[in-house]
Structure 1
């Protein structure tokens, strides 16, 4: 080689290789920007556009890094350090591969988030994408760490076994926390409850779901207070979700009228009042009319129920309040008696009692 006859000829040749690699990297970058990007923009999917942006810088630095790796081999002053240089470049290439993989992964997640997840009705993917991203980054980082440690001659098998035992000890110590974590994952994936749902637990607590975290779930209860429930407890609880699968809710108001009442008149008046209150409150379903069902001959009353269909569970409280007030006023006006428990007592001589029994 002609350069071998020049002072520092090998170093000069190495410099030329590096310059050529930089020129090739810039040319490749220019081709990507001017031509490949134009072709990518013609496609309907954004995946190729996002992927090209993600790999453009890694490819540039990868070509330059490859040129430096080749150039270093021609520098005679470094010939005595070949083993050390090879180890150093192995570590650099490992970190480069980690960087490349992270950028590609981020690009795919970004594409899924903007193009796929945005079109879905569910929020599962929105909640899980950050977790998936962190898990993938952790796996890539762990693999890269093992490869780097292997370059330093550290026995990876022994390290993995030690980490396994250490992980088992940590898992046992963090069992309650991990239980809440996986219960939170179940709540997010299975979605028996969602943020904004009004729920009732088997223990009697009621409230609106304010937040579903990885350790606990928060319910906003009466008085704007927060009830914080560990996810492991919530996952095992029996839950009534008043907003799932739909918000419309049917509830009853139980009533009773005296045996002397005209039941046809009672039904007519009760329905009139129910319709008036529903119209005034504006909380009834458009396709849901109130109706009356007589149920039983009670001890003092003829028992019946009025059924209301409202837009959501919380509407029932004010509606029931206004209905009871309006119905009492209307019954008083119509002379309909709401009886209270009464008993008839007979007393007298034995002859009168025997005649009554007959």
Structure 2
């Protein structure tokens, strides 16, 4: 009887010397259940050696079965907790789903052990299983919204359309950073530091713009218009010089990125172009735009480049002008 604990201590010492932590988890999981099994085996051994009445022997057998099932439940509970705790820092799904995985595993193991125990005692479990099925259906109907969010949360965690840290825009217009992806809802922190709680069932059914995919860097587009008499080559060079300076000096810019200009429209009062910059994140794009507009406006003033006011040219016939002039003289 005393050799069991000594062997367990030897296993713990051996596992501590290895580089892998899996064996530590296994040894930790089996240590307490092994104690129960040793105790139960002692009870069974005594019942077989000593001359007890048949009913007493049967009672010892049932006690051993209960202890063995308890040891199995305890082993799987400790094993799952240990493995989830070991892999959670590496796997985001386990990190966000740790409690539910442990709880679900514990419930399954306990129910299975209970059915085995009842079956070994001669109790019919068929009516119990049928009752559980009917009860589960009633619960599912009563909690269909909650269960819908629950399974939607599983889909979000597995499919990963959004993860914590992503900057997203919902189809309702809200945009911000994902701070939590739970089983029932997802939390989004707006730029104004408000928290928007989105039920997972609505999240997976809506159109989401994820600015952090495929990576956090994103293009920053600034619309600019210049006078029709402007030298477009000169304008392009000035805008690119200012853009490069912004990329190198403003926090959130990409220093190695070369900004560029694309002319695209003959507007009512200006020739319009888009300045393409790049930022490390969506929130940085506001700072990039802010500084670029200030620097470009200053440089255009220094170089004599005109950003025209909206104007309209009226084409009036000469006869109509004479008529209007005559009325003014009267």
Under TM normalisation by the shorter chain, which class is it?
0.7 to 0.9
- What is the DSSP-based 3-state SS (H/G/I as helix, E as strand, rest coil) of the residue aligned with 1:292? strand
Partner of 1:69: 44
In 2, the alpha carbon distance for the partners of 1:102 and 1:259 equals 76
Q: 1:343 aligns with which of 302, 313, 317?
A: 313
In 2, the alpha carbon distance for the partners of 1:204 and 1:125 equals 31
Q: Would the alpha carbon gap of residues 262 and 211 (structure 1) be closer, same or farther in structure 2, given more than 3 Å must change?
A: same
1:257 Cα shift? 1.3
In 1, the alpha carbon distance for the partners of 2:9 and 2:191 equals 59
Q: 1:99 aligns with which of 47, 50, 74?
A: 74
Confirm whether residue 30 of structure 1 aligns to residue 6 of structure 2: yes
Q: 1:295 aligns with which of 248, 251, 264?
A: 264
Confirm whether residue 47 of structure 1 aligns to residue 22 of structure 2: yes
* Deviation larger for 310-319 or 225-234: 310-319
1:184 Cα shift? 1.1
In 2, the alpha carbon distance for the partners of 1:237 and 1:338 equals 40
The unaligned stretches of length 5 or more in structure 1 are 1-24, 353-358
Partner of 1:227: 196
Q: Give yes or no for contact 1:72–1:78 (8 Å, CA) kept in 2.
A: no
Confirm whether residue 247 of structure 1 aligns to residue 223 of structure 2: no
Q: Would the alpha carbon gap of residues 278 and 338 (structure 1) be closer, same or farther in structure 2, given more than 3 Å must change?
A: same
Q: Which has the larger radius of gyration?
A: 1
In 1, the alpha carbon distance for the partners of 2:248 and 2:67 equals 74
State the number of aligned residues.
321
Q: Would the alpha carbon gap of residues 106 and 223 (structure 1) be closer, same or farther in structure 2, given more than 3 Å must change?
A: closer
RMSD: 2.7
In 1, the alpha carbon distance for the partners of 2:177 and 2:166 equals 5
The unaligned stretches of length 5 or more in structure 2 are 323-330
- What is the DSSP-based 3-state SS (H/G/I as helix, E as strand, rest coil) of the residue aligned with 2:113? helix
Partner of 1:283: 252
Q: Would the alpha carbon gap of residues 162 and 300 (structure 1) be closer, same or farther in structure 2, given more than 3 Å must change?
A: same
In 2, the alpha carbon distance for the partners of 1:346 and 1:323 equals 41
- What is the DSSP-based 3-state SS (H/G/I as helix, E as strand, rest coil) of the residue aligned with 2:94? helix
TM-score normalised over the length of structure 2: 0.86
TM-score normalised over the length of structure 1: 0.80
In 1, the alpha carbon distance for the partners of 2:14 and 2:163 equals 42
- What is the DSSP-based 3-state SS (H/G/I as helix, E as strand, rest coil) of the residue aligned with 2:282? coil
For residues 320-340 of structure 1, the C-alpha deviation after alignment (integer angstroms, 9 at most, x for no partner) is: 122222322322332222222
